[in-house]
Amino acid sequence: MAELGFHWPSLVVYLVNFTALLIILYMVGFKPILRVLDERSRRIQESRDQAQVLQEESVMRQGEMDQQIKDARKEGQAVIEQARQAAQRVRDGEREKARQEADSFISKAQAEIQRERDIAVDELRREFGDLAISAAERVVRRSLDKDLHKDLIEQTLTESDLLEKDGK
């Protein structure tokens, strides 16, 4: 072995050299680099977790927003419906009022016409009575008792009215 270079003290030196190098490299090199790598991995993991949380929160918020929009739409439709019903009620009321006014106007007009007609009929009857008496006086050449004959004429006219109505 000595020919190959085996040497106890050198072996011990190499053992010490390597052990010391192992410790120093671990303290000076590997440990700091691994610490930095761990820290970086931790941050990346944290960022990933945070992104996950934000995504979940965003999905939740989106859901809430959708719900709010849905509620608002429903509420809006209810308001529109209420407004429509109110408008309908107002329209019906106005229509009813207008109809009542028109009916009242027509009734008044009809009453007026009736009254005018009654006046005209009375006028005509009166004139017709006078005319009939005058005509009869001319036929009989004497004066007639006006009051007496008037009753007769009235009766005749009434009968003629009745006949007229029956004829219709």
Nearer to other proteins, 29 or 93 (CB): 29
Burial of 136 (0-12, 13-18, 19+ CB in 10 A): middle
Least spacing, CB of residue 10 vs other proteins, in Å: 4
Residue 76 CB, shortest distance to other proteins, in Å, is: 52
- Beta carbon nearer to other proteins, 32 or 63: 32
CB of 79 vs other proteins, minimal distance in Å? 56
Nearer CB in complex with other proteins: 17/134:
17
List Cβ neighbours of 128 (8 Å cut-off, separation of 6 or more). 153, 157
Cα radius of gyration rounded to whole Å, the chain: 62
Which parts of this chain interact with other proteins (CB under 8 A)? Answer: 1-15, 17-22, 24-26, 28-30, 32-34, 36-37, 39-40, 43
Query: 107: phi > 0 → left, psi -120 to 50 → alpha, else beta; which?
Result: alpha
